[in-house]
Chain A
Amino acid sequence: MADENKIKFPEPKSDRDAYIVENSHVHQIYDKIALHFDSTRYKTWPIIEKFLLELNTGLIGIDVGCGNGKYLGVNKNVHLIGSDICSNFAKISNEKGFEALIADGLLLPYKSDTFDFAISIAVIHHFSTFERRVDALREVVRTLKPGGIFLVTAWSITQKWRGKNYDHQDVMVPWLLQGQFSTSKKENENNNNNKNSTTTDSNNNSENSNTNSSSGGNITEKGGTKYEVYHRYYHLFEDGEFERLFKEIPGCEIIKNDLDHDNYNCFVRKK
């Protein structure tokens, strides 16, 4: 595995350690790259889109870790409430006219037994301990009505489609932030509609960058363009992992769990 993917902090020993790790290696990074992320993440996954479009008119649901809100407007006949722990993502989603609030996935500000459905797309892999992944899933299940459906997805350790090879489940994944999206350059914030970005988090090659234990922001050069490099923490999922997590949560059952394009798509029903 490339050196840049190696974890650069000690394994969290307590929930509070894990909270601090996630804060500095996930939340703060997303807050920095939110505008650039929004300009590259506009395509929706067909499986998730299909799930949303098949919902009946008038249903109410939540999107936990909604990011730039790309799923919030898929079905105009349901009421979908987005939330993200990163205030910049809540802001981006709100500016698109969607419902978005700032909330911690482990402490959702919703009544219990309330929602007809929930989605959480590519979020659960950012929690850094088994217990916190269980807690995050349990918290969504709490807010669902009996019979409510939860679609949760995570990156898998097999990254054939993304063309990467990881030999460890806990990794750092770089993001090359284009200067124009840097939050330190406020005057360029209006350029965030530029869809010509060439970077994604899978075709990075920042071996020449001087990365160290800090959360990022080092400058690297690629194809004549300067980038700031940021690393996000991921816990990549393996076969059977969603099954082990949901086994800890009474009152729900996995209906289906498929591996598709390096993502596990797990459908769960609250009993």
Chain B
Amino acid sequence: MKILTYNMMSCSKKQCVGKGHPLKLDCTESQTLTQDFQLEFIKNMIPRLDWDGIRAVAPMFNINLGDNIEGQLENEEFLKNLFKLVVNTKIIKGKLTCPSCNREYFIENGIPNMLLREDEIYQDIKE
């Protein structure tokens, strides 16, 4: 899972819609990919990013985006760093935790498992 994918994600639970993000990321294994920098791609994508999620994870991968993100959107060095973080960083193993309900989701072999158990899905019916 790339950081760009992570940035769009939220807790799977219905009760967490609107508040289950950004998920807290614990990364125990990551991989650096080698996709060529695409200026147009990153520029068009920027308005779609959740900056709270980006700020939270950048230091984990030793990427310094600086304090003034809004002021650097035309700065190519900044855009290259951002591209490296969101497109060329892949989480292989780790854990995602919901900020609202604390549900943990595990990432194995690059794939987060976001499925709920049957008893979690039908929680409301039982109660």
A125 contacts B by Cβ under 8 Å: no
Do B8 and A60 touch (CB < 8 A)? yes
Known interface pairs A81-B5, A114-B48; A104-B109 also in contact (CB < 8 Å): no
Q: Are A111 and B5 in contact (CB under 8 A)?
A: no
Q: Which of A55-89 contact B (CB under 8 A)?
A: 56-60, 77, 79, 81, 83, 85, 87
Asked if B9 lies at the interface with its beta carbon under 8 angstroms from chain A, I say yes
Question: In the complex, how many residues of chain B place their beta carbon closer than 8 angstroms to a beta carbon of chain A?
Answer: 36
Q: Tell me the bound Cα distance from A94 to B5 in angstroms.
A: 13
Across the interface, which residues of A come within 8 angstroms of B11, CB to CB? 109
The answer to whether B44 and A56 have CB atoms under 8 Å apart is yes
Q: Is A142 an interface residue (CB 8 A)?
A: yes
Q: How far apart sit A78 and B25, CA to CA, in the bound complex (Å)? A: 24
User: How many whole Å from B42's CB to the nearest CB in chain A?
Assistant: 7
In contact, A103 and B115 (Cβ under 8 angstroms): yes
Closest to B47 in A: A58
**How many A-B residue pairs lie within 8 Å, measured between CB atoms?**
94
Within the assembled complex, what's the spacing in Å between the Cα atoms of A256 and B110? 37
Contact string against B for A residues 112-138, beta-carbon threshold 8 Å, 1 for contact and 0 otherwise = 101110000000000000000000000
B122 A16 Cβ-Cβ under 8 A: yes
Question: Contact between A104 and B1 (Cβ–Cβ < 8 Å)?
Answer: no
A83 to B12, CA, bound (A): 13
The B102-116 residues at the A interface (CB cut-off 8 A) are 105, 109-116
B18 at the A/B interface (Cβ < 8 Å)? yes
A51 to B8, CA, bound (A): 22
Chain B residues with Cβ under 8 A from A60's Cβ? 4, 8, 45, 48
B43 to A: closest C-beta gap in Å = 7
Question: CB distance A103 to B114 under 8 Å?
Answer: yes
Return the chain B residue nearest A142 by Cβ: B17
User: A249 contacts the other chain (Cβ, under 8 Å)?
Assistant: no
Chain B residues closer than 8 Å to A94, beta-carbon distance:
109-111
A residues neighboring B (CB under 8 Å):
15-16, 19, 56-60, 77, 79, 81, 83, 85, 87, 90-91, 94, 99-104, 107-112, 114-116, 142
